[in-house]
């Protein structure tokens, strides 16, 4: 039958992270012992104090439609969080609560980007940024970084990428997929460039804020000259092990927040009532309550780096945050392993899935064709087993 779908959906790539996770799930259901290191999803349970708040919300009959931009008391908690953790002074009318940080990003891009506008993405970047920009009919312009620069860009690279058409820059620290963290000094240097181009907006995705192993987290909007031009995105999924609860939020200039609310009001309405009540408990708790998860991720980072370093041909740096490693595996391109020729990162990831039964994600999806992403949001035992299998599959 002729394809009757719109060009918009026909041209939209499938999310590579979700596709790999689905493939791994399917193989598992068919009895194959797959180790899933593709999805960025903490393997912890949501902390009990948050679960209790959700149960209380159900008992208190929170069941009605919620305000499109979020409950007022939740927005106040978000303002307090921004002040406490980031030194940012947002008012409740600058906050919009969404069904996950992904929706917050999509809202912001939809309300700012006209067809033909350029959006600068720092490669490697999270898979959905480019698809979200495409949906808004904008152009994704990549600024490339690699393992030698710790996957960070210089002020000069930023400046060289700016044109008359540039409307938005998306930055992300700690970064998915590289784990890089920008210091305050590095962000100040990028801001110095942006100060010369007052028409450019900045979307700062800070969803991995708390999964940080050293360099203090710095919010881009903290730079006074950037505050009125920055949309700060955050959410609950990663730090609070709440991926399925689907709560994200932004702090933004009032007029952008209002536009995002209008957009959301036509598409999903307000986020889930129970999850919003639970979010208040999560954000009002001291950050120390979730430290045990970060400490565990830190140990896993050490473990996975030690194990991967033993494999010839795998080039690694030391990520400073998030729970991914992003090795350069280009030395395998052109080689034949166990009778299979590897031409690129996608074929490499498929090879690992088929031969080692370990699910990872190709770097192509993140704008870095020499790499693959491996999530270490899995138990130490699984990490050990996975890397042992990968090592075996890559040894001639």
d(CA 190, CA 187): 5
DSSP string, 71-127: -HHHHHHHHHHHHHHH-----GGGEEEESSHHHHHHHHHHHHPPTT-EEEEEES--H
Q: Which of residues 165-204 bind ligand GLU (CB under 6 A)?
A: 176
Under rule CB under 6 A, residue 364 binds ligand GLU: no
**Min CB(142)–ligand GLU separation in Å:** 18
Judged by beta carbon, residue 15 or residue 110, the one nearer ligand GLU is: 15
Under rule CB under 6 A, residue 42 binds ligand GLU: no
Q: Which of 12, 18, 135, 305 binds ligand GLU (CB under 6 A)?
A: 18
**Min CB(175)–ligand GLU separation in Å:** 11
Judged by beta carbon, residue 194 or residue 233, the one nearer ligand GLU is: 233
Number of C-beta neighbours around residue 97 at 10 A:
28
Angle of helix 127-135 relative to helix 101-112, nearest 10 degrees?
Answer: 40
Q: Name the strand (E) or helix (H) holding 358.
A: strand 358-359
The answer to whether the beta carbons of residues 94 and 75 sit under 8 Å apart is no
Stretch that binds ligand GLU, among 13-21, 146-154, 159-167, 208-216 (CB under 6 A): 13-21
Under rule CB under 6 A, residue 39 binds ligand GLU: yes
Judged by beta carbon, residue 109 or residue 226, the one nearer ligand GLU is: 109
Q: Which of 34, 37, 40, 122 binds ligand GLU (CB under 6 A)?
A: 40
The answer to whether the beta carbons of residues 343 and 370 sit under 8 Å apart is no
**Min CB(237)–ligand GLU separation in Å:** 7
| DSSP tag of 215 | S
**Min CB(126)–ligand GLU separation in Å:** 6
Judged by beta carbon, residue 28 or residue 258, the one nearer ligand GLU is: 28
Distance in Å from the first CA to the final CA of the chain: 46
User: Which positions ≥6 away from 281 have C-beta within 8 Å?
Assistant: 49, 50, 52, 53
Judged by beta carbon, residue 39 or residue 88, the one nearer ligand GLU is: 39
Tell me the site size for ligand GLU, rule CB under 6 A.
10
| DSSP tag of 282 | H
Q: Which of residues 127-156 bind ligand GLU (CB under 6 A)?
A: 127-128
Interface with ligand GLU by CB under 6 A: which residues?
Answer: 15, 17-18, 39-40, 102, 126-128, 176
């Amino acid at each position: 039958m002729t394809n009757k779908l719109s060009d918009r959906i026909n041209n939209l790539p499938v999310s590579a992270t979700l596709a790999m996770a689905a493939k791994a799930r399917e193989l598992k259901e068919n009895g194959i012992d797959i180790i899933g290191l593709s999805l960025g999803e903490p393997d912890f349970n949501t902390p009990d104090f948050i679960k209790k708040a959700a149960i209380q919300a159900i008992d208190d009959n929170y069941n009605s439609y919620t305000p499109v931009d979020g409950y007022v008391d939740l927005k106040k908690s978000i303002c307090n969080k921004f002040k406490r953790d980031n030194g940012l002074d947002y008012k409740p009318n600058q906050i919009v609560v969404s069904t996950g940080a992904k929706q917050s990003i999509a809202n912001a891009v939809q309300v700012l980007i006209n067809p033909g506008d350029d959006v600068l993405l720092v490669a490697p970047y999270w898979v959905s940024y480019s698809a979200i920009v495409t949906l808004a009919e904008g152009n994704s312009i990549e600024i490339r970084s690699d393992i030698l620069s710790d996957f960070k860009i210089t002020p000069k690279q930023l400046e060289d990428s700016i044109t008359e058409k540039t409307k938005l820059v998306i930055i992300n620290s700690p970064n998915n997929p590289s784990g890089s963290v920008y210091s305050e000094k590095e962000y100040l240097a990028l801001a110095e460039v942006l100060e010369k181009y007052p028409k450019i907006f900045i979307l700062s995705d800070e969803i991995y804020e708390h999964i940080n192993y050293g360099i203090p987290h710095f919010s881009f909007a903290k730079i006074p000259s950037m505050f009125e031009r920055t949309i700060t995105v955050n959410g609950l999924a990663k730090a609070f092990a709440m991926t399925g609860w689907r709560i994200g939020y932004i702090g933004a200039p009032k007029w952008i927040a209002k536009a995002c609310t209008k957009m959301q009001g036509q598409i999903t309405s307000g986020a889930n009532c129970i999850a919003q009540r639970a979010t208040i408990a999560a954000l009002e708790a001291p950050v120390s309550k979730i430290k045990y998860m970060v400490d565990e991720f830190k140990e896993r980072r050490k473990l996975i780096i030690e194990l991967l370093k033993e494999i010839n041909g795998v080039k690694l740096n030391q990520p400073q945050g998030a729970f991914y490693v992003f090795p350069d595996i280009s030395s395998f391109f052109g080689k034949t392993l166990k009778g299979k020729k590897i031409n690129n990162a996608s074929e490499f990831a498929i090879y690992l899935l088929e031969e080692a039964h370990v699910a990872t994600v190709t770097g192509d999806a993140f704008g870095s064709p020499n790499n693959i992403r491996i999530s270490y949001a899995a138990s130490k035992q699984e990490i050990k087993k996975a890397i042992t299998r990968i090592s075996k599959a890559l040894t001639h």
